[in-house]
Structure 1
């Protein structure tokens, strides 16, 4: 009797195990391509590992392309320099033509993205396509978050001239009511490549 019960229990456990194994594996959704060309790519995807956990975000979210253009054109950064006491004027993250090309695709991506996804972009200089700016955009609490992963050099940087100094580092520069993302509520732990721009 005991042996029969043990056999029956073993069969039940084996059946449950086989049922679980036969279930389709849980895979994340594939990336959704919004736009793809030689100089511009916009894709809905997961935020890469290594960034603070902020999911879910407030997607889908509708922002008119004109509003996205205003945000992109307002973004500036400070470039580091190897010269002591040297100062430089803030530089634009995007040129006006880049902002006009990128804004409609980001607007579309934000309106389609699910709450656990962000809009990733890559935009290149038309004349020098090897110079790329890449990053991520999403909306949280009525604010646009923009992370710059790689910043293209302006055309005059990196050229072999006697008067140019290489840029060693850079950081986004908030303007108006923009601010840098901070890991802590007291404002400490700012991430200099992550800027927040309120929509109101």
Structure 2
């Protein structure tokens, strides 16, 4: 009888240890800063609330900075104009200099990322350092996902939030191999600030 009680306690203790360790392993670590300068901040973090839950991601993931740079340079956006009837214009999201700064940091981050983490970046504009482009990057099913949350958005010191005139509208333009993320089957529910690029 005594040995049965001890055996039951041992099993319960072992189960507790397994459950406790599993719970710890599922938790995402606090934001891990990979790169931080005035021009660029890159961190690893859990995907912000409001995005679909797609994890676990294919992290860690080895991708060369040159490959990341090629993807960044291929991404364009189409912006509306404040002038009526002037149409839309396509532009590059990242300049060559911005891409050369951001690509190695993304490559390094993806190598260090946990399956529950995404790469978050905030990149200053070259001509106007008070304007920043912010986004997220992760790899899922051998495809690189790039989400642009803010595009050259002014940041005013002393204010808790960023501000941008709401009349400025833009959307990312996928190239031949790229596509927008869709929230519903059949290509419906296109999210125009989210580009997916095949890596293989």
Class of the TM-score when normalised by the shorter of the 2 chains: 0.7 to 0.9
Q: Alpha-carbon deviation of 1:126?
A: 3.7
Which residues in structure 2 correspond to 1:27-66 (within 5 Å)? 28-66=28-66
Corresponding residue number in structure 2 for 1:191: 191
TM-score by length of 2: 0.78
> 2:136 is paired with a residue of what secondary structure?
strand
Structure 2: where are the runs of 5+ without partners?
A: 1-15, 154-165
Corresponding residue number in structure 2 for 1:72: 72
RMSD, matched Cα? 2.4
Corresponding residue number in structure 2 for 1:114: 114
1:139 equivalent to 2:139? Answer yes
Corresponding residue number in structure 2 for 1:124: 124
CA contact (8 A) 1:79 1:167 kept: no
TM-score by length of 1: 0.78
Q: Alpha-carbon deviation of 1:84?
A: 4.5
> 1:151 is paired with a residue of what secondary structure?
strand
CA contact (8 A) 1:77 1:172 kept: yes
Count how many residue pairs are aligned between Structure 1 and Structure 2. Answer: 170
Higher Cα radius of gyration: 1
1:92 equivalent to 2:92? Answer yes
**Matched residues in 1 for 2:83 and 2:38: separation?**
36
**Matched residues in 2 for 1:82 and 1:98: separation?**
26
1:102 equivalent to 2:102? Answer yes
Q: Alpha-carbon deviation of 1:81?
A: 2.5
Q: Alpha-carbon deviation of 1:176?
A: 1.6
Q: Alpha-carbon deviation of 1:38?
A: 0.6
Q: Alpha-carbon deviation of 1:168?
A: 1.9
Quick one: structure 1 residues 167 and 95, their matched pair in 2 at CA, closer, same or farther if it must change by over 3 Å? farther
> 1:44 is paired with a residue of what secondary structure?
strand
Structure 1: where are the runs of 5+ without partners?
A: 1-18, 154-165
CA contact (8 A) 2:180 2:191 kept: yes
**Matched residues in 2 for 1:59 and 1:113: separation?**
6
* Larger strand proportion of the pair: 2
Question: CA offsets, 1:1-32, max 9 Å, x none?
Answer: xxxxxxxxxxxxxxxxxx9xxx9x96641111
Question: CA offsets, 1:33-80, max 9 Å, x none?
Answer: 110011101100011000111111110000000000000000000002
**Matched residues in 1 for 2:86 and 2:174: separation?**
20
